[in-house]
Structure 1
Amino acid sequence: MAIKVSKLVWEHYELAGGALIVLLWMADHCDDPGAHLFPSMRTLAHDCCMPEKQVRRHVHSLIHDGYLGIVGNEAGGAPGTTRQYDLRLERLKRDAPASPPSTPPQSIRRTHGR
């Protein structure tokens, strides 16, 4: 379990819904560098409480958006074998929000007694 990776997903992945659940599952089952992921679609569907077709769409969108990479068995392989993925941590870190300004903009400052 990679707590650091799960924390990155919670803090920086801005979409919600099924893709977030799939990405969190992946983050929860990888190592600290975000590698060594080889779930079957059936396992993902079961664990994420979604139909397999929906999980497959989320995985493909996460690959397309650069959050997941295929590192093994790219063509899908023989029946019974699964792809190997890694989480693209640099993509999560790149999407990190900028730190908030130290003072609020003039338009939202409150003035007391004026």
Structure 2
Amino acid sequence: MSIQVLNLVWAVRGLDATAKLVLLRLADFSDDTGGQIFPSVGRVADDTGLSERAVRQALRRLEDTGALRLVAKEDSGRHRAREYRIELSFFAGGSTCRPEAGAGRNEVPGGTSFRVGGHDVPPRGAPDAPRSVIEPLENRQGVRPYAFEGKVVRLNYSDFDNWTATYHAIPDMKAELAAIDAWLVGQPETKRKGWFHSVPGMLSRKHQERLAAAPPTPKRRPQITDLPEFAPR
């Protein structure tokens, strides 16, 4: 987590409430350069209480405004997660979201409205400007956003189920993640920040080792009932 990037996101004005909430969650993953962000849509949805559709739409709007850039797409074959970068240059000119090129400005009492990602966003001070309250997850009673939560590794239910199915040769996924989490605690911050990218590789190696060590399945011996004479008529 980068306090510097979080402060920049908190200070920006002109983003709709959903996009800002998603951007704040991404900033919680980032390093001080705005990079090393490897979220899944499901995880961001679980953490923010939004639907996955709303998260996808917010990500597209953030890319359209230039606040967010997709560095690499998800590649399950290579165990590579989707990677984003928060563009710090977007915040360099001030804390107000710039209007789209060619978009008109609509004068309203209290200020000027902007169009962000195709949506009209009321300015600060506008009578109809929405006010949003971001409720911390820990204040939502009964909500457990993670299937596994260690000191470094935090995995939501969707990702946990996917990893358990993909690396099915690992008998106890939570125990394996706990061992990896304990190892990551002593690693440099850059390695800890990129855990969502590196842990699948570790699990894949363990999975392959388990498969290689498993005894071969014994071949079935032919039975007399296999003869054509015993075939059902």
TM band (smaller chain) = 0.7 to 0.9
Deviation at 1:14, TM superposition (A): 2.6
Choose which of 75, 78, 91 in structure 2 pairs with 1:77. Answer: 75
Find the counterpart in structure 2 of residue 50 from structure 1: 50
Distance 1:70 1:95 in 2: 23
1:12-27 aligned at under 5 Å gives the runs 12-27=12-27
| Cα deviation 1:14-49 (Å, max 9, x = unaligned) | 323111100001111100000000100000100010
Deviation at 1:51, TM superposition (A): 0.5
Q: Which consecutive residues of structure 1, in runs of 5 or more, have no partner in the other structure?
A: 98-114
Find the counterpart in structure 1 of residue 222 from structure 2: none
SS at match of 2:92: helix
Q: Which consecutive residues of structure 2, in runs of 5 or more, have no partner in the other structure?
A: 97-233
Find the counterpart in structure 1 of residue 11 from structure 2: 11
1:27-66 aligned at under 5 Å gives the runs 27-66=27-66
1:69-108 aligned at under 5 Å gives the runs 69-73=69-73, 76-78=74-76, 81-96=80-95
Distance 2:55 2:34 in 1: 19
Distance 2:33 2:83 in 1: 14
Distance 2:8 2:87 in 1: 11
Larger Rg: 2
Deviation at 1:64, TM superposition (A): 1.2
- TM-score with structure 1 setting the length: 0.75
Matched residue type, 1:50 = L
| Cα deviation 1:55-78 (Å, max 9, x = unaligned) | 0000011011111111112xx434
Deviation at 1:81, TM superposition (A): 4.9
- TM-score with structure 2 setting the length: 0.38
Distance 2:85 2:6 in 1: 13
Distance 1:37 1:72 in 2: 10
| Cα deviation 1:86-114 (Å, max 9, x = unaligned) | 000110222436xxxxxxxxxxxxxxxxx
C-alpha RMSD over aligned residues: 1.8
Residue correspondences, number? 95
Residues 12, 93 of structure 1: 8 Å contact kept: no
The structure with higher relative contact order (CA 8 Å, sep 6+) is 1
Identity of aligned residues (%): 33
